């Protein structure tokens, strides 16, 4: 039998957020808060970790303090809470006078339930003194991986948060993050001085995400092809360098796609404007460095493209996890080159020199980087590889949601002949040229340099001319990754390894090589389809999206603050006929039903009259 307290939580979650059930680990996370036991909760992006620290305070006396690292993240969550009828506020450096006044009134009135602050503001003496006089019932630390030097976004100011244990006697701390290895989890517990904490680690797998990995040969064109698979839908494209961000955004705009850049080199006003345009659905694509994304709660990002290898698997999980937070099918495409490893290594070495970091920190970053490289090279199930990195296992043999399990990657017939041909060509060229030149020779290029060097007279000249040049180049990269070829010197000249020499001499068979990548096809089925929405009326869904946009613009909030895509798809499938049916749809709470119910019901009725 359900306890009275659990029933209160269930009622609050249903009334405010419109959810009839809790997700895995949410109940346990709320129990830790309500029983006043420190906790560390690791739930993947989209796993509902915000609800874990927002709901408990609604069934207790007093208010809760939430530490959040980014202003935009705080603003998004406060806007969403206000739309749901929860008294919430944020204190940060970008507060308008009106926001400051509203926060002060809420704090004085005793109606405040959730207050968001940055770690920098929290440790200021004036604020600490106020906390001593008005202590919260508990403290939630969002993005808690920032406290660990072994994490993927270390922030020194987070280290001071443990001081609150001494200042606010009896308060419990509850740390939340989406990605943390065992090492990072242990460090969080130690740095926050958590006492006998409840350690809750949810499943890392995101079954609604389709992962694909491709070698990068023409980044702009490959990005364009992926973006066009999702017309009119929101997506994020990550580039490593600012210059690449600007070029890719401009390229997409020339192709008729509403794309904007985002990186630290832009003026702050332009960065904010571009992020707001994306959040409000006024731009479809944001092209960014990794500086973007941590501060948004946008749930309807349908794809995330990395046009360069991320610096760690943790970063990749965090960044790719910004797709499909609403649980609907979304795509994660990673385009990589071995040059990315060298780029990140230079960045790490320069950063370590500027910040005075220890050698152990540099070694930890490089270890994480090599783990990311190994993921890119792998031809095992992507879902299995990602959860395995965090010490978990996937139940299914095939996920049905990655390029490997969808059979988009296949070994090539005649691998032995092709591999041997490439290695013999490198030997014929006396191991004095780079990958591009070798590919030109094998493809039968008539470029003047090849003719001047008389390399058109080699046995290997034109030996792979029936194949596309980019496929030949790709096979060379595979042989490098498999250890049969090595790059040396400033000019990245190709040399044969011992294994490569043995193959070239016919002493060993060549390795299996991947066939040219097939055209990406849509998944036939999905494990993440929203329950009951197999018969979504797509025309109605688009009408409801347009209505949502109009309502959001009139209120000056992002569209997902009204309803997310998953809720709209349920509405477009079930077509509720009256307020009680409308309120029964997942994601519709009482406050939103009162505010928006009639508008959406009228739109549905009009659509039904028009199309039957």
Task: Supply the mean pLDDT for the chain.
Answer: 88
Judgement on whether residues 271 and 188 belong to the same structural domain of the protein: no
Task: Using alpha carbons, select from 175, 169, 226 the residue that is nearest to residue 53.
Answer: 175
Judgement on whether residues 19 and 163 belong to the same structural domain of the protein: yes
526 within some domain: no
Judgement on whether residues 355 and 424 belong to the same structural domain of the protein: no
Judgement on whether residues 189 and 253 belong to the same structural domain of the protein: no
Q: What is the mean pLDDT of residues 308-322?
A: 91
Q: Summarize pLDDT for 173-216 with one digit per residue, the tens.
A: 999 998 888 888 999 999 888 999 999 998 889 999 999 999 89
Judgement on whether residues 368 and 424 belong to the same structural domain of the protein: no
329 three-state secondary structure: coil
Q: Summarize pLDDT for 330-369 with one digit per residue, the tens.
A: 999 999 987 899 899 998 888 776 666 667 778 888 888 9
Indicate if the pLDDT at residue 529 is higher than 50: no
Q: What is the mean pLDDT of residues 392-412?
A: 87
Judgement on whether residues 42 and 178 belong to the same structural domain of the protein: yes
Report the greatest alpha carbon distance in the chain: 88
At 282 the pLDDT is 94
**CA-to-CA dists, residue 593 to 19, 36, 532, 536, angstroms:** 13, 34, 20, 21
Judgement on whether residues 469 and 361 belong to the same structural domain of the protein: no
CATH number for the domain harbouring residue 460: 1.10.10.10
In the β-sheet with 39-42, what is the strand arrangement from edge to edge? 88-91, 114-117, 64-67, 138-141, 173-177, 39-42, 198-201
Confidence at 296, pLDDT banded by 50, 70, 90: low
553 within some domain: yes
525 within some domain: no
284 within some domain: yes
Domain boundary (371, 389, 407) is at: 389
Residues linked to residue 402 through DSSP beta bridges, in sequence order: 211
Judgement on whether residues 76 and 112 belong to the same structural domain of the protein: yes
2 three-state secondary structure: coil
Please give the full DSSP string across 51-67, using - where no structure is assigned: HHHHSGGGGSSS-EEEE
Q: What is the mean pLDDT of residues 305-309?
A: 96
Residue 359 burial (C-beta neighbours within 10 Å; 0-12, 13-18, 19+) = exposed
Indicate if the pLDDT at residue 471 is higher than 50: yes
Residues linked to residue 201 through DSSP beta bridges, in sequence order: 42
Judgement on whether residues 429 and 286 belong to the same structural domain of the protein: no
* pTM (two decimals): 0.80
Task: Using alpha carbons, select from 270, 251, 253, 254 the residue that is nearest to residue 262.
Answer: 270
At 13 the pLDDT is 92
CATH number for the domain harbouring residue 568: 1.10.150.80
Indicate left, alpha or beta for 152 from its phi (over 0: left) and psi (-120 to 50: alpha).
Answer: alpha
At 425 the pLDDT is 95
Domain boundary (482, 504, 526) is at: 504
513 within some domain: no
407 within some domain: no
Judgement on whether residues 495 and 559 belong to the same structural domain of the protein: no
Task: Say how many domains are in the chain.
Answer: 4
Structural domain range at position 296: 209-389
Domain boundary (138, 167, 201) is at: 201
Judgement on whether residues 191 and 286 belong to the same structural domain of the protein: no
Q: Summarize pLDDT for 108-162 with one digit per residue, the tens.
A: 888 899 999 988 888 788 888 888 888 999 999 998 888 876 655 667 777 888 8
At 234 the pLDDT is 95
Q: Summarize pLDDT for 40-96 with one digit per residue, the tens.
A: 999 887 778 899 999 999 999 999 999 988 787 888 889 899 999 999 999 887 788
Judgement on whether residues 14 and 132 belong to the same structural domain of the protein: yes
529 within some domain: no
At 462 the pLDDT is 95
At 152 the pLDDT is 56
At 189 the pLDDT is 92
CATH number for the domain harbouring residue 218: 3.40.50.300
d(CA 474, CA 415): 13
512 within some domain: no
Structural contact between residues 54 and 76, judged by C-beta atoms closer than 8 angstroms: no
Indicate if the pLDDT at residue 294 is higher than 60: no
């Amino acid at each position: 039998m359900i306890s009275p307290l659990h029933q209160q939580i269930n009622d609050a979650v249903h009334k405010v957020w419109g959810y009839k059930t809790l997700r895995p680990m949410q109940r346990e996370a709320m129990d830790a808060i309500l029983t006043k036991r420190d906790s560390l909760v690791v739930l993947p992006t989209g796993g509902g970790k915000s609800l874990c620290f927002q709901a408990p305070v609604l069934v207790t006396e007093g208010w809760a303090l939430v530490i959040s690292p980014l202003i935009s993240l705080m603003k998004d969550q406060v806007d969403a809470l206000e739309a749901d009828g929860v008294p919430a506020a944020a204190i940060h450096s970008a507060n308008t006078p009106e926001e400051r006044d509203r926060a002060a009134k809420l704090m004085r009135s005793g109606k405040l339930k959730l207050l968001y602050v940055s770690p920098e503001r929290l440790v200021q003496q004036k604020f600490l003194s106020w906390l001593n006089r008005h202590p919260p019932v508990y403290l939630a630390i969002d993005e808690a991986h920032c406290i660990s030097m072994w994490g993927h976004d270390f922030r020194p100011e987070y280290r001071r948060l443990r001081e609150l244990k001494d200042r606010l006697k009896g308060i419990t701390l509850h740390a939340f993050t989406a990605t943390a290895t065992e090492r990072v989890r242990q460090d969080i517990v130690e740095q926050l001085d958590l006492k006998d904490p409840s350690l809750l680690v949810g499943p890392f797998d995101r079954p609604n995400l389709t992962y694909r990995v491709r070698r990068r040969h023409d980044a702009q064109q490959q990005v364009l092809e992926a973006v066009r698979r999702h017309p009119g839908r929101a997506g994020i494209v990550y580039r490593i360098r600012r210059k690449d961000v600007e070029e890719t955004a401009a390229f997409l705009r020339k192709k008729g796609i509403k794309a904007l850049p985002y990186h630290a080199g832009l003026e702050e006003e332009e960065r904010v404007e571009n992020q707001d345009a994306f959040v409000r659905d006024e731009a479809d694509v944001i092209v960014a460095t990794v500086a973007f994304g941590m501060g948004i709660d946008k749930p309807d990002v349908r794809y995330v493209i990395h046009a360069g290898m991320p610096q760690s698997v943790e970063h990749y999980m965090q960044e790719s996890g910004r797709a499909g937070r609403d649980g609907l099918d979304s795509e994660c495409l990673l385009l990589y080159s071995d040059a990315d490893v060298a780029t990140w290594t230079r960045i790490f070495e320069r950063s370590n020199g500027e910040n005075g970091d220890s050698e152990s920190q540099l070694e930890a970053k490089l270890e994480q980087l090599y783990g990311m490289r190994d993921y890119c090279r792998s031809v095992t199930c992507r879902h299995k590889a990602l959860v395995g990195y965090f010490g978990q296992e996937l139940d299914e043999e095939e996920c049905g949601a990655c390029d490997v399990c969808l059979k988009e990657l296949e070994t090539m017939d005649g691998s032995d002949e092709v591999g041997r041909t490439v290695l013999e060509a490198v030997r014929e060229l006396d191991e004095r040229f780079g990958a591009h030149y070798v590919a030109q020779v094998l493809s039968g290029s008539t470029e003047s340099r090849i003719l001047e060097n008389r390399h058109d007279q080699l046995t290997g000249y034109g030996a792979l001319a029936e194949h596309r040049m980019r496929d030949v180049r790709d096979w060379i990269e595979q042989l490098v990754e498999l250890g049969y070829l090595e790059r040396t010197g400033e000019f990245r000249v190709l040399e044969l390894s011992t294994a490569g020499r043995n193959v070239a001499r016919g002493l060993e068979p060549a390795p299996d090589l991947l066939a040219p990548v097939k055209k990406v096809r849509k998944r036939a089925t999905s494990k993440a389809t929203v329950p009951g929405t197999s018969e979504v009326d797509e025309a109605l869904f688009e009408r409801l999206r347009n209505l949502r946009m109009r309502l959001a613009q009139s209120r000056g909030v992002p569209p997902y603050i009204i309803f997310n895509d998953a809720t709209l798809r349920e509405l477009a499938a079930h077509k509720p006929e009256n307020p009680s049916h409308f309120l029964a749809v997942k994601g519709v709470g009482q406050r939103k039903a009162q505010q928006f119910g009639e508008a959406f019901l009228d739109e549905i009725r009009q659509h039904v009259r028009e199309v039957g």
